[in-house]
Amino acid sequence: MAIPISQVWTVATYVWKQRLKGNKRYPLVLMLEPLFRCNLACAGCGKVQYPPHILKKQLSPEECFAAVEESGVPMVSIPGGEPLLHPQIVEIVNGLIARKKYIYLCTNALELKRRLPEFTPSKYLTFSVHLDGQREHHDFSVCREGGWDIAVEGIKEAVKRGFRVTPNSTFFDGVDPNSVRAYFDEVMAMGVEGIVLSPGYSYDKAPDQTHFMGRAKVRRLFRAILSNRKKSWKFNMSPLFLEFLMGDRQYECTPWGSPSYSIFGWQKPCYLLQDGYTETYKELIETTKWEEYGVASGNPKCANCMVSCGYEPTAVIDGFLSLRGFWSMVKGNFSAYKDAHAQKVLNEFKPQGHAPLIQIGSTDRAMEETNA
């Protein structure tokens, strides 16, 4: 694990304090969406399809600070849209640093290199750069030729200036696991702190609905990718969440662990679904019917979800609150996860190449139902 000790300590003590207070549901990371507009239009994106009058709106710095203080989280992830398009993003980031929050500023990095001089390196600030694999795959995923080169330029400049940087990848059906492993080599050689990854979620609004995976496919793919690890690979994630993706652990979703706040308010029940909004965080916790979400609930919208915002909080809490979980987390940081079958899958994998760049309008979801 590549996460600095001070951050691990902050999160561990926070989780224990919640336990001692008897809090059953508490947030670990706030998904703060200050705006939805973006300078890209990725086919798998569930955010940039809003109508223009919504895309023009944004949260003020004061609204961002109020949401962070109301929820009391130790960590804030700022996705979007593209946060660097927010005219007051520097003020928002500096205000959160002053409040000692660990921030993951998510960016597609098209503007990163140009904007870097406005930010100051801090242990509280990480640029989480959207990079979906090697050049060809990333450009396909973001529907923009040359996107990878610009993002990599931004990453290298941020590393050079002393910022924490974590490339953040979402993988969809058909991805080549050998290419993903080669991508890990490439980004680690750029000097990044650690890799962040997740399987994609099938947003209703995403134009391309054909490349989302069911749970069995996710497990097969991530077992091939994450077994037989190289020592040089570091992950800015809970090792237990990675084991969950590989099929070594069964977890239930913790949707309140990553609550989402945007111009609409607090989103029910999670970052991925939109079953209404509340004005306050307290109302979100108290009025959401949590039992209607997660795989065990039988909710079809949750059936194939293994996304980090739902399941990484479960893994983090497991790792810090039980001795067995803590020991597994320590072991996971040093294990290569040797697996002969996973190696065979890699050896026999035949890349299929990419279909047309964007498949807007397709409704054939062809999802694999894999609750077993």
Residue 15 CB, nearest approach to ligand SF4 (Å): 19
Closest CB to ligand SF4 among residues 46, 319: 46
Closest CB to ligand SF4 among residues 110, 342: 110
Closest CB to ligand SF4 among residues 167, 255: 255
Q: Can you tell me which residue has the tokens 């790792």? A: 319
Residue 213 CB, nearest approach to ligand SF4 (Å): 13
Closest CA to 134 of 177, 203, 180: 180
Residue 116 CB, nearest approach to ligand SF4 (Å): 18
Closest CA to 198 of 137, 234, 229, 244: 244
Residue 345 CB, nearest approach to ligand SF4 (Å): 26
Is 196:236 a contact under the CB 8 Å cutoff? yes
Residue 309 CB, nearest approach to ligand SF4 (Å): 6
Closest CB to ligand SF4 among residues 215, 234: 215
Closest CB to ligand SF4 among residues 206, 221: 206
Please give the order of strands across the beta sheet that includes 274-278: 196-199, 164-171, 125-130, 102-107, 75-78, 29-32, 260-262, 265-269, 274-278
Closest CB to ligand SF4 among residues 47, 181: 47
Instruction: State the virtual CA torsion across 286, 289, 295, 299 in degrees, nearest 10.
Output: -150
Closest CB to ligand SF4 among residues 227, 304: 304
Residues 196, 132: Cα–Cα separation, whole Å: 10
Q: Give me the residue whose beta carbon is nearest to ligand SF4.
A: 310
What SS3 state is found at 218? helix
Residue 164 CB, nearest approach to ligand SF4 (Å): 20
**Residue 331 buriedness (CB in 10 A; 0-12 / 13-18 / 19+):** exposed
Residue 324 CB, nearest approach to ligand SF4 (Å): 24
What SS3 state is found at 137? helix
Residue 331 CB, nearest approach to ligand SF4 (Å): 27
Closest CB to ligand SF4 among residues 91, 111: 111
Closest CA to 122 of 90, 152, 148, 145: 90
Report which secondary-structure segment, H or E, holds 16.
Answer: helix 5-21
Report which secondary-structure segment, H or E, holds 308.
Answer: helix 308-321
Q: Provide the β-strand partners of residue 169.
A: 197
Is 67:281 a contact under the CB 8 Å cutoff? yes
Closest CB to ligand SF4 among residues 246, 273: 273
What SS3 state is found at 145? coil
Angle at 271 between CA 15 and CA 355, to 5 degrees: 125
Residue 267 CB, nearest approach to ligand SF4 (Å): 10
Is 35:59 a contact under the CB 8 Å cutoff? yes
The pair of structure tokens assigned to 74 is 């130790």
Closest CB to ligand SF4 among residues 132, 342: 132
The residue ranges that bind ligand SF4 (CB under 6 A) are 38, 40-42, 45, 47-48, 80-82, 108, 130, 142, 253, 255, 269-270, 272-273, 293-294, 301-302, 305, 307, 309-310
Can you list the alpha helix ranges (DSSP code H) found in 172-307?
177-189, 215-226, 239-245, 281-287
Residue 44 CB, nearest approach to ligand SF4 (Å): 7
